[in-house]
Amino acid sequence: MTEKKSGPAFSDVEGSTVVAVMSRSEEKARFYAERHGIPRWYTDAQKLIDDPEVNAVYVATPPSSHATFAIMAMKAGKPVYVEKPLAASYDDCARVNRISEQTGVPCFVAYYRRYLPYFQRVKETVRRNAIGTVINVQVRFAVPPRELDYSHPENLPWRLQPDIAGGGYFYDLAPHQLDLLQEMFGVILEARGIWANRGQLYAAEDSVSAIFKFENGLPGSGSWCFVAHESAREDSIQIIGDKGSLRFSVFDYAPIELHTGEGTEIINVPNPPYVQYPLIKNVIEHLQGLAVCKCTSVSATPVNWAMDRILGKF
Protein backbone atom coordinates (compact mmCIF):
# COMPACT_ATOMS: atom_id res chain seq x y z
CA MET A 1 0.00 0.00 0.00
CA THR A 2 2.55 2.60 1.10
CA GLU A 3 5.08 1.56 -1.55
CA LYS A 4 2.87 1.92 -4.61
CA LYS A 5 -0.42 3.65 -3.81
CA SER A 6 0.11 6.30 -1.15
CA GLY A 7 3.65 6.75 0.17
CA PRO A 8 5.21 8.51 -2.83
CA ALA A 9 2.18 10.81 -3.16
CA PHE A 10 2.82 12.40 0.25
CA SER A 11 6.15 13.73 -0.97
CA ASP A 12 4.83 14.74 -4.40
CA VAL A 13 2.36 17.28 -2.99
CA GLU A 14 3.82 20.72 -2.41
CA GLY A 15 4.43 21.47 1.26
CA SER A 16 4.27 17.83 2.32
CA THR A 17 6.94 15.33 3.29
CA VAL A 18 7.20 12.11 5.28
CA VAL A 19 9.42 12.67 8.32
CA ALA A 20 8.88 9.44 10.29
CA VAL A 21 7.48 5.93 9.97
CA MET A 22 6.42 3.31 12.49
CA SER A 23 6.12 -0.47 12.43
CA ARG A 24 6.01 -3.02 15.23
CA SER A 25 8.91 -4.70 13.43
CA GLU A 26 12.14 -2.77 14.01
CA GLU A 27 13.69 -4.31 10.91
CA LYS A 28 10.78 -3.33 8.67
CA ALA A 29 10.58 0.21 10.04
CA ARG A 30 14.30 0.83 9.66
CA PHE A 31 14.50 -0.73 6.21
CA TYR A 32 11.51 1.27 4.95
CA ALA A 33 12.94 4.52 6.31
CA GLU A 34 16.35 3.88 4.78
CA ARG A 35 14.88 2.85 1.44
CA HIS A 36 12.79 6.01 1.15
CA GLY A 37 15.15 8.50 2.75
CA ILE A 38 12.91 9.09 5.79
CA PRO A 39 14.89 10.56 8.70
CA ARG A 40 13.28 8.74 11.64
CA TRP A 41 11.59 5.45 12.38
CA TYR A 42 9.78 4.06 15.43
CA THR A 43 8.38 0.81 16.81
CA ASP A 44 6.06 2.66 19.21
CA ALA A 45 3.07 4.49 17.70
CA GLN A 46 2.84 6.95 20.59
CA LYS A 47 6.44 8.05 20.04
CA LEU A 48 5.71 8.77 16.38
CA ILE A 49 2.58 10.72 17.31
CA ASP A 50 4.55 12.69 19.92
CA ASP A 51 7.32 13.56 17.43
CA PRO A 52 7.25 17.39 17.31
CA GLU A 53 7.93 17.41 13.56
CA VAL A 54 4.94 15.17 12.85
CA ASN A 55 1.83 17.33 12.42
CA ALA A 56 -0.42 14.76 10.71
CA VAL A 57 -0.58 10.96 10.89
CA TYR A 58 -1.31 8.33 8.24
CA VAL A 59 -2.68 5.03 9.57
CA ALA A 60 -2.07 2.12 7.18
CA THR A 61 -2.52 -0.80 9.58
CA PRO A 62 -5.16 -3.56 9.49
CA PRO A 63 -8.65 -2.21 10.36
CA SER A 64 -8.80 -3.50 13.94
CA SER A 65 -6.27 -0.87 15.05
CA HIS A 66 -7.53 2.01 12.90
CA ALA A 67 -9.78 3.45 15.59
CA THR A 68 -7.13 3.17 18.30
CA PHE A 69 -4.40 4.94 16.34
CA ALA A 70 -6.78 7.53 14.89
CA ILE A 71 -8.06 8.42 18.35
CA MET A 72 -4.49 8.61 19.72
CA ALA A 73 -3.53 11.04 16.97
CA MET A 74 -6.62 13.23 17.31
CA LYS A 75 -6.24 13.44 21.10
CA ALA A 76 -2.71 14.69 20.44
CA GLY A 77 -4.19 17.39 18.23
CA LYS A 78 -2.92 15.87 14.99
CA PRO A 79 -5.15 15.30 11.94
CA VAL A 80 -5.25 11.71 10.73
CA TYR A 81 -5.63 9.99 7.36
CA VAL A 82 -6.86 6.40 7.74
CA GLU A 83 -6.87 3.54 5.27
CA LYS A 84 -10.23 2.10 4.30
CA PRO A 85 -12.44 0.82 5.76
CA LEU A 86 -12.43 3.36 8.56
CA ALA A 87 -12.59 0.60 11.18
CA ALA A 88 -13.43 -3.07 11.69
CA SER A 89 -16.98 -2.25 12.80
CA TYR A 90 -19.61 0.46 12.67
CA ASP A 91 -19.30 0.95 16.43
CA ASP A 92 -15.60 1.78 16.12
CA CYS A 93 -16.41 4.27 13.36
CA ALA A 94 -18.80 6.00 15.75
CA ARG A 95 -16.02 6.22 18.35
CA VAL A 96 -13.71 7.89 15.84
CA ASN A 97 -16.37 10.39 14.83
CA ARG A 98 -17.13 11.23 18.45
CA ILE A 99 -13.47 11.99 19.25
CA SER A 100 -13.09 14.01 16.05
CA GLU A 101 -16.09 16.10 17.04
CA GLN A 102 -14.92 16.53 20.63
CA THR A 103 -11.35 17.51 19.71
CA GLY A 104 -12.15 19.44 16.56
CA VAL A 105 -9.37 17.49 14.81
CA PRO A 106 -10.27 16.15 11.35
CA CYS A 107 -10.10 12.50 10.35
CA PHE A 108 -9.92 11.63 6.65
CA VAL A 109 -10.38 8.18 5.08
CA ALA A 110 -8.61 6.74 2.04
CA TYR A 111 -11.56 6.22 -0.28
CA TYR A 112 -9.31 7.46 -3.05
CA ARG A 113 -11.33 5.96 -5.88
CA ARG A 114 -13.84 8.79 -5.48
CA TYR A 115 -11.17 11.14 -6.81
CA LEU A 116 -9.73 9.10 -9.69
CA PRO A 117 -10.45 10.31 -13.24
CA TYR A 118 -11.91 6.90 -14.15
CA PHE A 119 -14.66 7.11 -11.54
CA GLN A 120 -15.13 10.83 -11.99
CA ARG A 121 -16.03 9.99 -15.59
CA VAL A 122 -18.53 7.35 -14.42
CA LYS A 123 -20.17 9.85 -12.08
CA GLU A 124 -20.25 12.58 -14.73
CA THR A 125 -21.86 10.21 -17.24
CA VAL A 126 -24.63 9.33 -14.78
CA ARG A 127 -25.22 12.93 -13.72
CA ARG A 128 -25.62 14.21 -17.27
CA ASN A 129 -28.44 11.69 -17.72
CA ALA A 130 -26.66 9.76 -20.46
CA ILE A 131 -28.63 6.67 -19.38
CA GLY A 132 -31.72 8.55 -18.25
CA THR A 133 -33.22 8.04 -14.82
CA VAL A 134 -31.31 5.40 -12.86
CA ILE A 135 -33.64 2.60 -11.78
CA ASN A 136 -31.33 -0.16 -10.50
CA VAL A 137 -27.71 -0.87 -9.55
CA GLN A 138 -26.02 -4.28 -9.56
CA VAL A 139 -22.59 -5.19 -8.17
CA ARG A 140 -20.97 -8.44 -9.31
CA PHE A 141 -17.60 -9.60 -8.09
CA ALA A 142 -16.06 -13.08 -8.32
CA VAL A 143 -12.45 -14.26 -8.10
CA PRO A 144 -10.71 -17.60 -7.53
CA PRO A 145 -9.03 -18.24 -4.18
CA ARG A 146 -5.55 -16.81 -3.70
CA GLU A 147 -2.60 -19.06 -2.95
CA LEU A 148 -2.43 -17.77 0.63
CA ASP A 149 -6.06 -18.78 1.18
CA TYR A 150 -4.92 -22.40 1.40
CA SER A 151 -2.64 -21.65 4.37
CA HIS A 152 -3.10 -23.22 7.77
CA PRO A 153 -5.26 -21.09 10.10
CA GLU A 154 -2.22 -19.73 11.95
CA ASN A 155 -0.71 -18.48 8.68
CA LEU A 156 -3.80 -16.96 7.04
CA PRO A 157 -3.45 -13.35 5.81
CA TRP A 158 -4.96 -10.77 8.17
CA ARG A 159 -7.68 -10.01 5.62
CA LEU A 160 -9.17 -13.43 6.42
CA GLN A 161 -9.15 -12.96 10.19
CA PRO A 162 -12.46 -11.27 11.17
CA ASP A 163 -11.15 -10.06 14.53
CA ILE A 164 -8.46 -8.10 12.67
CA ALA A 165 -10.15 -7.23 9.37
CA GLY A 166 -13.81 -7.02 10.41
CA GLY A 167 -14.69 -9.89 8.11
CA GLY A 168 -13.14 -11.70 5.17
CA TYR A 169 -12.32 -10.36 1.71
CA PHE A 170 -15.79 -8.83 1.58
CA TYR A 171 -14.86 -6.39 4.33
CA ASP A 172 -11.63 -5.55 2.49
CA LEU A 173 -12.92 -5.07 -1.07
CA ALA A 174 -16.63 -4.20 -0.88
CA PRO A 175 -15.92 -0.87 0.91
CA HIS A 176 -14.58 0.66 -2.29
CA GLN A 177 -17.63 -0.46 -4.28
CA LEU A 178 -20.17 0.67 -1.70
CA ASP A 179 -18.42 3.99 -1.12
CA LEU A 180 -18.44 4.81 -4.84
CA LEU A 181 -22.15 4.02 -5.09
CA GLN A 182 -23.01 6.07 -2.01
CA GLU A 183 -20.97 8.94 -3.44
CA MET A 184 -23.22 8.84 -6.52
CA PHE A 185 -26.62 7.96 -5.07
CA GLY A 186 -26.54 8.93 -1.40
CA VAL A 187 -26.33 7.00 1.83
CA ILE A 188 -27.62 3.42 2.02
CA LEU A 189 -30.54 3.41 4.48
CA GLU A 190 -31.53 -0.24 4.20
CA ALA A 191 -29.28 -3.26 3.77
CA ARG A 192 -29.46 -6.95 4.43
CA GLY A 193 -27.64 -9.97 3.16
CA ILE A 194 -26.90 -13.66 3.25
CA TRP A 195 -23.37 -14.92 3.63
CA ALA A 196 -21.84 -18.36 3.61
CA ASN A 197 -18.55 -20.22 3.70
CA ARG A 198 -18.74 -22.47 0.65
CA GLY A 199 -15.07 -23.14 0.00
CA GLN A 200 -14.24 -24.19 3.57
CA LEU A 201 -10.75 -22.71 3.20
CA TYR A 202 -11.03 -20.40 6.21
CA ALA A 203 -13.55 -19.36 8.84
CA ALA A 204 -14.61 -16.01 7.32
CA GLU A 205 -17.38 -15.63 4.77
CA ASP A 206 -16.36 -16.36 1.16
CA SER A 207 -19.70 -15.82 -0.60
CA VAL A 208 -22.09 -12.91 0.02
CA SER A 209 -25.37 -11.82 -1.55
CA ALA A 210 -27.00 -8.53 -0.55
CA ILE A 211 -29.78 -6.10 -1.31
CA PHE A 212 -29.81 -2.45 -0.31
CA LYS A 213 -31.67 0.81 -0.86
CA PHE A 214 -30.19 4.31 -1.13
CA GLU A 215 -31.66 7.43 0.46
CA ASN A 216 -33.12 8.50 -2.90
CA GLY A 217 -35.12 5.24 -3.06
CA LEU A 218 -32.86 3.54 -5.62
CA PRO A 219 -32.65 -0.25 -5.07
CA GLY A 220 -29.44 -2.17 -5.55
CA SER A 221 -28.02 -5.64 -5.15
CA GLY A 222 -24.60 -7.24 -4.89
CA SER A 223 -22.99 -10.63 -5.24
CA TRP A 224 -19.46 -11.40 -4.05
CA CYS A 225 -17.66 -14.73 -4.32
CA PHE A 226 -14.01 -15.21 -3.34
CA VAL A 227 -13.76 -18.94 -4.11
CA ALA A 228 -15.06 -18.90 -7.69
CA HIS A 229 -13.78 -20.86 -10.66
CA GLU A 230 -11.63 -18.84 -13.03
CA SER A 231 -14.38 -18.99 -15.65
CA ALA A 232 -16.62 -16.94 -13.36
CA ARG A 233 -14.10 -14.16 -12.70
CA GLU A 234 -15.87 -10.80 -12.77
CA ASP A 235 -15.41 -7.26 -11.50
CA SER A 236 -18.30 -5.09 -12.57
CA ILE A 237 -20.94 -2.63 -11.50
CA GLN A 238 -23.90 -2.08 -13.81
CA ILE A 239 -26.01 1.04 -13.46
CA ILE A 240 -29.32 0.58 -15.24
CA GLY A 241 -31.32 3.54 -16.48
CA ASP A 242 -34.53 3.95 -18.42
CA LYS A 243 -32.58 5.12 -21.49
CA GLY A 244 -29.48 2.94 -21.27
CA SER A 245 -26.96 1.33 -18.98
CA LEU A 246 -23.41 1.85 -17.80
CA ARG A 247 -20.93 -0.85 -16.85
CA PHE A 248 -17.54 -0.32 -15.20
CA SER A 249 -15.07 -2.15 -12.99
CA VAL A 250 -13.73 -1.08 -9.61
CA PHE A 251 -10.40 -2.87 -9.36
CA ASP A 252 -9.45 -3.73 -12.96
CA TYR A 253 -10.26 -0.30 -14.46
CA ALA A 254 -11.62 -2.04 -17.56
CA PRO A 255 -12.92 0.35 -20.23
CA ILE A 256 -16.25 1.90 -19.26
CA GLU A 257 -19.16 0.64 -21.39
CA LEU A 258 -22.01 3.04 -22.14
CA HIS A 259 -25.03 1.42 -23.81
CA THR A 260 -27.84 3.62 -25.17
CA GLY A 261 -30.29 3.62 -28.05
CA GLU A 262 -27.53 5.17 -30.16
CA GLY A 263 -25.23 2.17 -29.69
CA THR A 264 -22.31 1.26 -27.45
CA GLU A 265 -19.51 3.62 -26.50
CA ILE A 266 -16.27 2.27 -25.02
CA ILE A 267 -14.56 4.85 -22.80
CA ASN A 268 -10.92 4.56 -21.73
CA VAL A 269 -9.84 6.78 -18.83
CA PRO A 270 -6.24 6.55 -17.52
CA ASN A 271 -5.46 7.02 -13.85
CA PRO A 272 -2.38 8.66 -12.29
CA PRO A 273 0.66 6.49 -11.41
CA TYR A 274 -0.03 6.80 -7.67
CA VAL A 275 -3.76 6.19 -7.32
CA GLN A 276 -4.07 7.92 -3.95
CA TYR A 277 -2.43 11.12 -5.21
CA PRO A 278 -5.63 13.12 -6.00
CA LEU A 279 -7.15 12.44 -2.58
CA ILE A 280 -3.91 12.96 -0.66
CA LYS A 281 -3.43 16.26 -2.48
CA ASN A 282 -6.94 17.31 -1.42
CA VAL A 283 -6.31 16.27 2.20
CA ILE A 284 -3.04 18.20 2.39
CA GLU A 285 -4.57 21.28 0.77
CA HIS A 286 -7.40 21.05 3.32
CA LEU A 287 -4.84 21.07 6.14
CA GLN A 288 -3.10 24.01 4.47
CA GLY A 289 -6.37 25.94 4.32
CA LEU A 290 -6.44 25.88 0.52
CA ALA A 291 -9.36 23.47 -0.07
CA VAL A 292 -12.04 21.41 1.63
CA CYS A 293 -11.82 17.62 1.65
CA LYS A 294 -15.14 15.85 2.10
CA CYS A 295 -13.68 12.34 2.34
CA THR A 296 -13.98 12.37 6.13
CA SER A 297 -14.65 9.75 8.78
CA VAL A 298 -18.29 10.88 8.86
CA SER A 299 -18.72 10.29 5.12
CA ALA A 300 -16.94 6.92 5.41
CA THR A 301 -19.02 5.54 8.28
CA PRO A 302 -22.14 4.55 6.25
CA VAL A 303 -20.01 2.01 4.39
CA ASN A 304 -19.27 0.15 7.62
CA TRP A 305 -22.93 0.41 8.63
CA ALA A 306 -24.03 -1.20 5.37
CA MET A 307 -21.40 -3.96 5.55
CA ASP A 308 -22.24 -4.76 9.16
CA ARG A 309 -25.93 -4.98 8.26
CA ILE A 310 -25.16 -7.25 5.28
CA LEU A 311 -23.06 -9.56 7.46
CA GLY A 312 -25.70 -9.57 10.18
CA LYS A 313 -23.54 -7.97 12.86
CA PHE A 314 -26.59 -6.14 14.17
Each residue's pLDDT tens digit, 129-163: 999 999 999 999 999 999 999 988 888 999 999 99
Whether 7-112+277-297 shares its CATH topology with 117-270 is answered: no
| Domain range list for the chain | 7-112+277-297, 117-270
Label the pairing between strands 234-241 and 244-248.
antiparallel
Determine the average pLDDT of the residues in 223-251. 98
Q: Quick one: which of 178, 186, 192 has its CA closest to 139?
A: 178
Domain 7-112+277-297 annotated CATH 1.25.40.10? no
In the beta sheet, which residues pair with residue 263? 260
Domain 117-270 annotated CATH 3.30.360.10? yes
Q: Which residues lie closer than 8 Å to 153 by C-beta, 6 or more apart?
A: 202, 203
* SS3 label, residue 200: coil
pLDDT in tens, 32-55: 999 889 999 999 999 999 999 999
8 Å CB contact between 281 and 13: yes
Question: What pLDDT is attached to residue 286?
Answer: 97
Residue 72 CA to residue 265 CA, distance in Å, equals 49
Chain-wide mean pLDDT for the chain? 96
Question: What pLDDT is attached to residue 36?
Answer: 87
Residue 288 CA to residue 109 CA, distance in Å, equals 17
Say what the pTM is: 0.95
* SS3 label, residue 201: coil
Determine the average pLDDT of the residues in 98-126. 98
- Residue 258: CB atoms within 10 A of its CB come to 21
CA dihedral 285, 288, 290, 296 (to 10 degrees): 50
CA atoms within 13 A on the CB side of 175: 28
Question: What pLDDT is attached to residue 1?
Answer: 60
